[in-house]
Chains A and B, each alone.
Chain A
Amino acid sequence: MFYTLLRHGWLSFVRAHYFERSLGIKLLFGFVIFISLWYLFMIGLALPNLLENLFPEQYPHEAFFSLLLFVYGSELLARLFFQKVPRQRAINYLHLPVKKSFLARYTLIRSWFSGYNFFLLVFLVPFFMRTLYGPVSPEAFRNALLGCFLLSALNHSVGMVIKTRTAWKPSTLLAAGLLIAGLILAGYFFLEQLMAFSGQLGLALMKGNMWVFAGLVAVIGFLQLTIVQGLVKSFYTLSDQSAKSTEASLSGSFMEKLLAKVPVYGIFWELEWKLITRNKRARNNFYQWPLMLPILVYLFVYSPGEAFASMTPILMLFLGSYGINHLQFAFSWESRFFDLLATQNMSLQLFIRAKYFFYSLMALLQFFILLPFILWLNPDVFPLFTGLLLFAIGPAFCLLFFSGVSNSTRIDPNGKSFFNLEGTSGRLFISVLSIFFTLVPVYIVAWLLPMETMMGFSLAAGVTGLLFIIFNKQWVQAITNRFERTKYRNLNKYREK
Chain B
Amino acid sequence: MTKIHIESLQKQYGQQIALDIDQLNIEQGQLVGIVGNNGAGKTTLFRLLLDLIEPTKGSVLINEKPVAGNNHWKPHTGSYLDEGFLIDFLKPEEFFHFTGDLYGMTPKAIDERLELFSRFMSDEILGQKKYIRQFSTGNKQKVGIIAAMLVQPELLILDEPFNFLDPTSQILIKRMLKQENEARHTTMLISSHNLNHITEICTRIILLEKGKIIKDLTPESGDMKEIEQYFSVNAE
Contacts and interface: CB of A to CB of B under 8 A. Distances in A.
A492 B13 CA distance: 12
Nearest to A341: B87
Interface stretch (B34-42, B90-98, B184-192, B206-214): B90-98
Interface residues of B toward A: which range? 35 or more
Interface stretch (A7-15, A246-254, A284-292, A471-479): A246-254
Interface stretch (B2-10, B14-22, B129-137): B129-137
A241 B134 CA distance: 7
Contact of A245 (B79, B88, B130): B130
Interface of B: 50-54, 69, 71, 74-75, 77, 79, 81-91, 94, 98-99, 101-104, 128-131, 133-134, 136, 151
A346 B75 CA distance: 8
Contact of A343 (B85, B89, B133): B85
A295 interface: no
Given A344-B74, A484-B69, 11 more contacts: A241-B136, A248-B131, A248-B134, A251-B129, A271-B87, A278-B89, A337-B86, A337-B87, A339-B81, A413-B89, A495-B84
Contacts of B53: 488, 491-492
Nearest to B91: A248
22 contacts: A242-B134, A245-B130, A248-B91, A248-B134, A267-B101, A267-B102, A278-B89, A339-B84, A342-B51, A343-B74, A343-B85, A344-B74, A345-B75, A345-B102, A346-B74, A413-B89, A414-B89, A414-B133, A488-B52, A491-B52, A491-B53, A495-B84
Contact of A274 (B81, B86, B94, B133): B94
A480 B128 CA distance: 37
Nearest to B74: A345
B98 to A, nearest CB: 7
B91 A279 contact: no
Interface in A317-358: 336-340, 342-347
Interface in A456-488: 484, 488
A169 interface: no
A122 interface: no
A244 interface: yes
A267 B105 CA distance: 13
A275 interface: yes
B75 A247 contact: no
A245 B130 CA distance: 6
A336 B134 contact: no
Contacts of A494: 84
A124 B122 CA distance: 63
A344 B83 CA distance: 15
B52 A339 contact: yes
A414 B87 CA distance: 12
A340 B89 contact: no
Contacts of B81: 339
Contacts of A340: 84-87
Contact of B134 (A245, A343, A488): A245
Contacts of A343: 50-52, 74, 77, 79, 85
Nearest to A271: B98
Nearest to A338: B84
Contacts of A244: 134
A247 B54 contact: no
B85 A337 contact: yes
Contacts of A278: 89, 131
A126 B91 CA distance: 55
B89 A249 contact: no
Nearest to B54: A488
Contacts of B98: 267, 271
Contact of B91 (A242, A251, A484): A251
Contacts of B74: 343-346
A267 B97 CA distance: 10
A463 B126 CA distance: 51
A337 B134 contact: no
Contact of A336 (B84, B128, B130): B84
B194 to A, nearest CB: 24
A248 B86 contact: no
Contacts of A492: 53
A455 B207 CA distance: 72
A249 B129 contact: yes
Contacts of A336: 83-84, 88
A251 to B, nearest CB: 6
A128 B131 CA distance: 53
Given A267-B98, A339-B52, A247 B85 contact: no
A148 B85 CA distance: 52
Contact of B129 (A248, A267, A338, A495): A248
B53 to A, nearest CB: 6
Given A245-B130, A336-B84, A346 B102 contact: yes
B65 to A, nearest CB: 16
A64 to B, nearest CB: 48
Nearest to A348: B71
B102 A337 contact: no
Nearest to B135: A241
A329 B71 CA distance: 26
